[in-house]
Chains A and B, each alone.
Chain A
Amino acid sequence: MSHHDDDLHGLLAEYETPSALVAACKKVRDAGYAKWDTFTPFPIHGIEKAMGIRMTGLPWIVLAAALVGLASAVGLQWWTNAVDYKFISSGKPMWSIPANVPVYFELTVLFSAFAALFGMLILNNLPQPSHPLDHLQAFGRVTDDRFFLYIEKGDAKFDLAETQRLLDGTHPVTVDAVNEDRRTSDQLPKPLVLTAAVIAVLALVPFAFIAKARATKTDKPKIHAMGDMDWQIKFQAQQPNPLFQDGMAMRAPEPGTVALDEHPDDEHLTAGKVDGQFVRTFPAGFKVDEATMARGKERYEIFCAPCHGMSGNGDGPVAQRAMTLAEGTWVPPTALGQDYLRQMAVGQLYDVVTNGVRNMPAYGSQLAVDDRWAVVLYLRALQKAKAAPVGELTDAERAALK
């Protein structure tokens, strides 16, 4: 074959069988070459040893990626569910390892798999668009059925005659001189660049729309991609509806409808009044016992104590804070032990709890009828405790006060 020495890139030996190649490898290895390689259609068992290839560091790259994946999974779930957007689901803790294990596992595997593939490609210098061997027609069979050994001219031990002799001694089919690749352009193919550029530009378009949508304001209603769920064929509460005589879509209860907890006939129970006068007795059937008292205490401490205080002195935490701020417009809550309140009819106290008075809001919507009466009962107990004469106390209580 003819070639200029300047053009020479290396020598390529071709073999018919894997075993011939492996035998040749041992000789080239023992001759002390460093810049050489073999090319085969499939991985050959035992060739690493014959060539002196050392174990790759790829597993460490994958291990590092696995740890990054695990840390990302921990961080993602912790940040999203335990810090940034907390909400209770089925009473589960915001942050617990067992519920997060599946995603730990999946992201660890995902990151490792990317590292395995891309780590392999990077360590192998792939993609590698061209190589001087590409211009040898015989080398086309490297991905089919032939086995090649290539020694580069750049090797310190390379000597054309010497190396040729070494290769000839390994029983190759042929030994070819390979020239430097001066034909392949170092530019990427134009159609490829063009396609990549078009795809890159098109890929930016959705992001541009998102950025525009985030940066601008509009008074137009949002776009309804699928209208069926936004505009359903139904009447909504405040809309007119020609099907009914009153023309309204929202239906009022039938006249005379009674809800389960309503007792419209028992004015004493529901309004605390009889014939327009506030009653001085608890309603018939209202049990004055320890259980009711405990219920009243519980409701009082939830609904009343924030302003009126735990013992009814008008010094609850809301009142205390308002006094501390001293803004001047604050009307302090009433102390509940005052004489006029001790003499007030239970019906009127019930009315105040139900409908509110002065600054105090109505609690009728939050407390059931029985609970309102229980609160009144507990209030009476508080009042009695505040004005109790010493004579009514037991010996133990008197001792405790001393």
Chain B
Amino acid sequence: MAMAQSPFDLAPQGENAFARITHNVARVAEVSKPPRGWYIAFGIALSLLSVFGVSIGWLFWQGIGIFGNMNPVFWAMPIVNFVFWVGIGHAGTLISAILYLLRQNWRTAINRFAEAMTIFAVICAGIFPGLHVGRPWLPYWMFPLPNQMSMWPQFRSPLEWDVFAVGTYFTVSTLFWYMGMIPDFGTFRDRSTTKVRKMVYGLLAMGWRGSSRQWHRYERAYLILAALATPLVLSVHSVVSFDFATAQLPGWHATIFPPYFVAGAIFGGFAMVVTLAVPARQFFGLKRIITVGHLELMAKIILATGMMVGYAYSMEFFIAWYGGNDYEMFTFFNRALGPYAWSYWCMIFCNVVSPQVFWSKKMRTNPWVILGVGVLVNIGMWFERFVIVITSLSRDFLPSSWGYYKPTFWDFSLLAGSFGLFFTLFLLFCRYLPMVAMAEVKAFHPSAHGHGDEHH
């Protein structure tokens, strides 16, 4: 590897298991120079972020005519990108909340940066509805703010539910994430060597000193937040699916949408977690904390949710035939054999076929195979939303208005730019914040039990 001289390849220091965990995680944020791979990745991310800035600037200057949206495809790439990013943002809370309630202790290795990934993905998602409304200086109309027009939002619309669902999800995920980091900020504060670091991490830690009386309330609050976040994570993508399911359009108007969207979101989210985890553990020497065993468990979840998604795809076809509705049948024939068949089969290959390699233990314990499948699934999940939005709209009830939607340069530059924003935030997170929940990893270490004797 090119990283052979990296300080992260050295064995972690410390006289006991707890100190080694602290050192292993904290050094990522403490070394004066991160590994070269971080600089390369950050450079690429910043360039993409500037592409995002330029694209948004041009959009605001020129108007949404720069998009490829046309009659009848009025909802196009901005909505595809929105649903894609919101979906990615589901794995983090799933890992932190649902796996916590299910006492899946392996989650501690990956929950922190899966949560960070969630928040950054939801930030990316939140930008697109604001961009696609056509008057990007008026998105505050989505919120129930008193105004001189004496108008209020319309709460019977799923689009308004979306505002509340995504807004709540972002806020609760951020609170959850921050609360989880408080003890680790304490660790960073106590290890600080400069005044600025001590001040900043000290402020973030709010005077956390690990009192057991505080830990007691902290754990209770964590449990409550997990219990709240679990139904929340299920509600968010259900509400996003209502945007489609409550419309009359064949291909959208389906009761399977909420569970199908939630399974797809978890699927896509885990794919993004492994996409980030494999390089991160490599660059930052976290292989002892994020082990191959963890990656294998995530590969199994990807395999399971991938098959749920595959089941939903086939069930849509079955219902189209079984329901006997001509329009519905046409829509699904058109998906698989029509002008956008290429996107449909691309989706099937990435989402249904590619995860099948995980049946083999050899494949699901090879980090680079997992990374490859993760990237493919990300692509496939983007195409899933493309297929749902574009194929359904481009062949609507009125054949005279049928058309072939082609995204423009700016549609793609905004998508690429949003990756820039995502990776910039993620790389800054890796550099400055505790990337692994140290306190939680320690709590589940074999030597952490309060009863009986043990030796280091």
Contacts and interface: CB of A to CB of B under 8 A. Distances in A.
B151 interface: yes
Interface string B413-456: 00000000000000000000000001110110001111111100
A21 interface: yes
Contacts of A107: 164, 168
A144 to B, nearest CB: 5
Contact of B450 (A50, A99, A131): A50
B293 interface: no
A120 B19 contact: no
Contact of B224 (A17, A18, A38, A62): A62
Given A48-B216, A53-B212, A81-B156, A59 B450 contact: no
B168 A59 contact: no
B66 to A, nearest CB: 10
Interface string B207-232: 11111111111111100110011011
Contact of B217 (A50, A120, A139, A143): A120
Nearest to B242: A102
Nearest to A90: B156
Contacts of B251: none
B454 A116 contact: no
Contacts of B172: 109-110, 113
B25 to A, nearest CB: 11
B61 interface: yes
A42 B220 contact: no
Given A80-B152, A113-B172, A214-B148, A42 B63 contact: no
B150 to A, nearest CB: 7
Contacts of B165: 102, 106
B63 A228 contact: yes
Q: How large is the interface on B (under 10, 10 to 19, 20 to 34, 35 or more residues)?
A: 35 or more
Contact of B156 (A39, A99, A110, A128): A99
Contacts of A16: 16
B214 A126 contact: yes
Given A58-B224, A81-B152, A89-B157, A41 B442 contact: yes
A40 B14 contact: no
A79 B438 CA distance: 47
B60 interface: yes
Interface string A45-67: 11110110100101100100000
Which DSSP category, helix, strand, loop or mixed, fits chain B's interface?
A: helix
Interface string A109-125: 11011101101110110
A113 B228 CA distance: 7
A385 B211 CA distance: 97
B151 A85 contact: yes
Contact of A226 (B16, B137, B154, B450): B137
Contacts of A77: 155
Interface string B20-34: 001000000000000
A130 B164 CA distance: 39
B135 interface: yes
Contacts of A103: 155, 160-161, 164
Nearest to A66: B228
Nearest to A142: B210
A127 interface: yes
B194 interface: no
Contacts of B452: 19
Interface in A111-167: 112-114, 116-117, 119-121, 123-124, 126-131, 133-134, 139-145
B450 A39 contact: no
Interface string A282-315: 0000000000000000000000000000000000
Interface in A164-205: 189, 191-192
A43 interface: yes
Interface in B1-50: 14-16, 18-19, 22
Nearest to B236: A106
B114 to A, nearest CB: 18
Nearest to B445: A42
B101 interface: no
B135 A58 contact: no
A38 B191 contact: no
Interface in B93-107: none
Contact of B164 (A51, A84, A102, A142): A102
B234 to A, nearest CB: 10
26 contacts: A40-B212, A41-B442, A43-B215, A50-B450, A90-B156, A99-B155, A100-B155, A102-B164, A102-B242, A105-B231, A107-B164, A107-B168, A109-B228, A109-B235, A110-B172, A112-B224, A113-B228, A114-B175, A123-B217, A124-B211, A127-B206, A143-B187, A189-B199, A191-B199, A226-B63, A228-B63
